[in-house]
Amino acid sequence: MKLTWFGLGVLACTSPFVAAAPSSRAPKVKHSIREPYGWTKHSVPSPNHRIELRIGLAQPNIDVLEKHLLEISDPDHHRYGQHLTKEEVEALVAPHDESLELVDEWLASHGIQEEDFTRSPAQDWVIVDVPLSLAETMLDTTYNVWQHTDGDYLVRTTSYSLPEHLHEHVDLVQPTTIFARWKGMRSTIFWPDNEIEETSIASAKQLAGTDVDPACNVSITIDCIRQLYNLEGYTPQVPESNSIGITGYLEQFANIEDLQSFYNDQLPEAVGTSFEFVSVKGGLNDQNLSNAGVEANLDVQFAFGLTFPTPGTFWSTAGRPPFKPDLGSTENTNEPYNDWLDFVLAQPELPSVISTSYGESEQTVPEDYARRACAGFMQLGARGVSLTFSSGDGGVGDGDDDPETTTCITNDGRNITRFMPLFPSSCPYVTSVGGTNNVPEIAVFFSGGGFSDLYFPRPAYQDAVVSEYLANLPQGTYEGLFNPNGRAAPDVAAQGRRFRIWVSGQPISIGGTSASSPTFAAVVALLNDARIAEGLPPLGFLNPLLYSKGLDAFNDITIGNNPGCGTQGFNSTVGWDPVTGLGTPDFQKLKDVVLQY
């Protein structure tokens, strides 16, 4: 008997694997890390603890896929907008037959036959559910229960090995050395009755004679976003041919009753409508009003409200926050993020834009894992999907603590202070969204931003604007605290504070770049609507277009900074900056741009 998970899940035998002689080829360390900062060994897990091993086979043609992506995303290239099909993308990421054969042989040497595991559609991932004792034998390692200073627990190791002949055929095996927690962006909640700042009152006075309601300095609504970003007067023309998606993790449930309250409050014409719910690996749809998720409600209410009546999809991906190591805990993978990526890559049809408000400090994500996940985003971009990610709520820090006091200590053994970029925001194939507040807009203090420190060099599409920003920095500014040659973030920005949403039957005011990403994604969905109405394909990967043709279609944000790591962070300035990127969108100007290509 086998248990089949929903979608691209695990096919796990309920009976023990047949014992077999292990491979005679000597193991060699594939990956190792130092003991991660903030984590300590807590205990020894049960040998019967279940773990879902994900084996990433080498993708020999990934550079070819990147070439395709950059050509079809370049508005000056004759292939612009000619997105690839699911099958074409899968052919480009497929491993060599030799890799498949050798990995199958290795699994068989540990008693794991083909009926015991599943493969991704491109066969570049093998997924198998095993007891921890077998995983330790396969990987020549020892797992421990690790405890974070915040109280979270994970079952991980700091080193694993594979037979040497497999190293060129296998990119990674996880969960092993990944200590990321994939938490939602830390939301900064402000209650309107007692947290209205003097700056917002002063800003409201400046609005006299403008088209923006002064109340938008106290509470951000659908109407405020429409006024701020020049969306007024635009009605979706072909909603039936367009769509927008929101990801949900860590048991964040989007409540339909709250959505109706939000619509009744801000968008009466949408009352009675909802969204498509999709479960990933058993993700739940808990509609108990008291269990409504703040993050999930924020995302769906504004993303779907701004784009109404464009169809919306909400994915609920199973996976609790890190488990508690008690006797009842026998399963713990805690990588729901990658489960979602596997699932959507297997789907023939996808929304044209997807927003995500989850991530982790880049240094907690092993390089091989980060690169494989980023390659997954590349695949989605090549298929015509625009991906937006919150840039984080820790300024130049990692968002774990108050931006004013975040220590930002490296986990490479040096234990030095270093700015902490957020992943996946640091992936060059996604659009990173920072935050603003007030009207006129300034950078919100918690807007995540900076430079990829470890893995991703600055992409060519950023060279001109980022080089200009760095050239204007006073010499020696934060020298040694960041990598000036890394992929820079954010790319753009949107309002990120005082959003009026409904949670558990009550209106609240909430902030965070968790609000900024779905807001910008909604603007992109409306741009796609305008393109589709003219017979053009959706935008797909956005950044090459935004950094070349879209520079004058943004509201430049020149005031504010993003403190963190014991510093004042970077400053907003004329042009691109690592606080608000290119600025906030002007829909009508962007629409004029995107309809030209």
Token pair in block for residue 472: 């204007």
Q: Is 265 annotated as a binding residue?
A: no
Query: Considering all CA atoms of the chain, what is the largest pairwise distance in Å, rounded to the nearest integer?
Result: 80
**pLDDT tens per residue across span 520-548:** 999 999 999 999 999 999 999 999 999 99
Which residues 6+ apart lie within 8 Å of 51 measured at CB? 129, 130, 131, 132, 135, 143, 155, 175, 331, 332, 333
* CA angle in degrees (0–180, nearest 5) for 46-52-53: 110
Q: How confident is the model at residue 454 (pLDDT cuts 50, 70, 90)?
A: confident
Q: Which amino acid is residue 88, in one-letter code?
A: E
Question: Any idea which of 129-138, 176-185, 466-475 has the lowest mean pLDDT?
Answer: 176-185
Span 157-167, mean pLDDT? 97
Write down the catalytic residue from 357, 425, 514, 516: 514
Residue 122 sits in the same domain as residue 207: no
CA dist., res. 360 & res. 338, Å (int): 13
DSSP 561-579: B--BTTB--PBP-SS-BTT
84, part of any domain: no
Token pair in block for residue 348: 């023939």
pLDDT of 506 strictly over 60 = yes
69, part of any domain: no
Residue 260 sits in the same domain as residue 169: no
- Core vs surface per residue 537-555: b (16+ CB within 10 A) or e: ebbbbbbbbbbebbbebbb
Which residues 6+ apart lie within 8 Å of 32 measured at CB? 158, 159, 160, 177
Main-chain dihedrals φ then ψ at residue 381, nearest 5 degrees: -60, -40
Contact call for residues 54 and 10 (beta carbons, < 8 A): no
Q: How confident is the model at residue 339 (pLDDT cuts 50, 70, 90)?
A: confident
pLDDT at 410: 87
CATH number at residue 410: 3.40.50.200
Which bin fits 350, alpha (ψ -120 to 50), beta or left (φ > 0)?
Answer: beta
CA dist., res. 380 & res. 83, Å (int): 10
Residue 169 sits in the same domain as residue 211: no
Residue 159 sits in the same domain as residue 221: no
Residue 461 sits in the same domain as residue 571: yes
In the chain, helix, strand, coil percent, each to 5? Answer: 30, 20, 50
Which residues 6+ apart lie within 8 Å of 1 measured at CB? 14
pLDDT of 285 strictly over 80 = yes
Q: 130, 151, 174: which is the final residue of a domain?
A: 174
Write down the catalytic residue from 299, 339, 400, 453: 299
Which bin fits 157, alpha (ψ -120 to 50), beta or left (φ > 0)?
Answer: beta
24, part of any domain: yes
Domain that holds residue 157: 2-59+94-174
Residue 213 sits in the same domain as residue 125: no
75, part of any domain: no
Token pair in block for residue 543: 């950044």
Span 106-121, mean pLDDT? 95
Span 375-392, mean pLDDT? 97
179, part of any domain: no
Residue 151 sits in the same domain as residue 253: no
Which residues 6+ apart lie within 8 Å of 480 measured at CB? none
8, part of any domain: yes
265 or 189, higher pLDDT: 265
Mean pLDDT is highest, among 209-218, 235-244, 333-342, for 235-244
Residue 168 sits in the same domain as residue 301: no
Closest CA to 523 of 300, 377, 306: 306
Residue 397 sits in the same domain as residue 472: yes
Residue 438 sits in the same domain as residue 370: yes
Q: Is 577 annotated as a binding residue?
A: yes
pLDDT of 584 strictly over 90 = yes
Please give the distance of CA 259 from its chain centroid, rounded to a whole number.
23
Which residues 6+ apart lie within 8 Å of 245 measured at CB? 312, 313, 314, 315, 350, 351, 353, 354, 355
**Cα→Cα distances 364→34, 65, 122, 179, 247, Å:** 11, 27, 27, 6, 21
**295 in active site:** yes
**299 in active site:** yes
Report how many domains make up the chain: 2
Q: 174, 207, 232: which is the final residue of a domain?
A: 174
Span 465-481, mean pLDDT? 96
30, part of any domain: yes
399, part of any domain: yes
Q: 126, 151, 174: which is the final residue of a domain?
A: 174
Q: How confident is the model at residue 182 (pLDDT cuts 50, 70, 90)?
A: confident
pLDDT at 16: 46
pLDDT at 12: 35
pLDDT of 14 strictly over 50 = no
The neighbour count for residue 479, using CB atoms within 10 Å, is 9
Write down the catalytic residue from 129, 171, 258, 295: 295
Residue 287 sits in the same domain as residue 433: yes
Please give the distance of CA 271 from its chain centroid, rounded to a whole number.
30
Contact call for residues 334 and 319 (beta carbons, < 8 A): yes
Q: Is 413 annotated as a binding residue?
A: no
DSSP secondary structure code for residue 185 in this structure: P
Residue 431 sits in the same domain as residue 534: yes
pLDDT of 374 strictly over 50 = yes
Q: Is 575 annotated as a binding residue?
A: yes
pLDDT of 321 strictly over 90 = no
